[in-house]
Every structure is written in C-alpha cells, then in structure tokens.
Amino acid sequence: MDVLNSAGITPFHTFDPMQGSASELADMLDSIREGGEDELSSLGSTHPLPATKLEAEGIDLAKGRDGIEWDDATILFIALRATDEDGGPAEPLDRGISMERLGRFPTSDGNAIAYLREYMIPESEDDLGSRLLTQLDVGLQEELRGNDELSKGCGGVNLHGWLTAAEVEMLRNHLQKSAWKVANHEPFDGGIRDVARHLLIILKTAEKRGVGILMRSPD
C-alpha cells in the first residue's frame, strides 16, 4: 500500500492549537472524581485562562465541579482549546496536506502518531522524544491514566493527549536533531519519515504561534 494514499480511511485525528497545559487541570479533575478537594471553585485565581474560557460558556465556577454538567473530557477540551479574541476557535494549525496525512493515516486506526511510536527507534530508551509522543498520543487515555474519564466526552469528543508550547519546541528539536532510526519491519516504506515530515510542519506552525497541541479523534 502506498503510504501517501489515505483514501477510504475513516478515522480522522485532529491536532488543535492549545493554550496552557492539560496536566494540572487533568490531575485536578481526577482528584475531584476520587473524592479530593474541589479546586475548580478557585480556578480563576490559579489558572485564569481556562477559567475565563469556561465562564464564557456560562459556567459558574464558584459552584465547583457540582455546578458543571459536562463530563471531564468536555471540560478539558473547552478550557484548553485555543481561541481568538472574539472567543471563537483559533485558526487551525494546518489546512493542507499535512493535516490530511496525519489525520487519515492508512492503518486500521488511522493514527499516525501511534504508528510513529511503534516503528520509530529512539536514540536512547525512553528518551524525551518518545515520552512526548506518548503524551501526545495517549496522555489523557486509559493506557496512561487507568481510565477514560478524561478522554471520552459527549458529542463524540475523544481526547488523546497534548503538548504544551514548550514541549512543541522540544519535540520539534528531537525530530530534527536526534539520531532516531526506523524499524526494519515498518509496514509502509517511508512511512515513518513521511509522518515525521508532516508532524514537523504542524509543530513549526504551533511553535511560531506560541501554542501547544491537543490531539483528538472521533469517539
């Protein structure tokens, strides 16, 4: 199969511009669900940007988690996705061939980042690049968190993971400069290098705009 031929591949993975970090808010939601202190009521003072986005959607954070009918995944998505000055969704990181190639990779799950993780041989075991790719691909999913509460949301929201703006630069540097190799059993000739090339375009755009990346797909 030609690695560049994505016709007929149904899953579409999206790489949205993200403001802030998913880590602290994700940990906060996990803690609340497990009976910990409800810190959402003070989100405005600790994390003003995501608080502003939630309040713009009519959320009264003073009531804490009990005052929000949304599931955790939807809270994360609304709180973290980058917005323009008018509050609407920010411009996509790419409208061309790179988003299409990464979004509809010709594997059974259509996931180009999972393919990269499986067939790219890192320069060293569990190096920074490998950790960042894992965080982008499954950082909010059951594979790492033990449940899918932060990934499965209403309306077909399926969050994978994220990179902060700083991590975008780190991964871009890794892909460009580290001595990673390609597994000799890679099923698509040139597939890894093709994914890396298009991912670099997305990363460079995010870096130029000073935003992170939130990866998602249809539920």
Instruction: Give the CA angle between residues 152, 82, 109 to the nearest 5°.
Output: 40
> 132 and 208 share a domain?
yes
- Beta bridge partners, 218, equal 157
Residue-wise pLDDT for 154-210, tens only, equals 888 899 999 999 999 999 999 999 899 999 999 999 999 999 999 999 999 999 999
Cross-sheet strand order for the sheet of 14-18 = 14-18, 212-218, 157-163
For 35: left if phi > 0, alpha if psi spans -120 to 50, otherwise beta; the answer is: left
> 139 and 40 share a domain?
no
Judge whether 209 lies within some domain: yes
Total structural domains in the chain? 2
Q: How confident is the model at residue 144 (pLDDT cuts 50, 70, 90)?
A: very high
Judge whether 36 lies within some domain: yes
Token pair recorded at residue 181: 């190799």
> 138 and 73 share a domain?
no
3-state secondary structure of 90: coil
The confidence score (pLDDT) of residue 6 equals: 41
Residues in the chain: 219
**How far is 196 from 142, CA to CA, in rounded Å?**
25
Judge whether 2 lies within some domain: no
Token pair recorded at residue 168: 């975008």
Query: Is 68 in contact with 75 (CB distance < 8 Å)?
Result: yes
Token pair recorded at residue 170: 């780190």
Domain boundary among 64, 80, 96: 80
Supply the range of the domain harboring residue 199.
Answer: 14-18+88-218
Mean pLDDT of 50-78: 94
**How far is 7 from 15, CA to CA, in rounded Å?**
20
> 35 and 126 share a domain?
no
- Beta bridge partners, 121, equal 181
> 66 and 112 share a domain?
no
**How far is 174 from 172, CA to CA, in rounded Å?**
5
Instruction: Judge whether residue 52 has pLDDT over 60.
Output: yes
Residue-wise pLDDT for 15-25, tens only, equals 999 999 999 99
Judge whether 1 lies within some domain: no
Judge whether 8 lies within some domain: no
**How far is 200 from 193, CA to CA, in rounded Å?**
10
Judge whether 171 lies within some domain: yes
pTM: 0.92
HSE (CB half, 13 Å, CA atoms) of 134?
12
CB atoms within 10 A of CB 72: 25
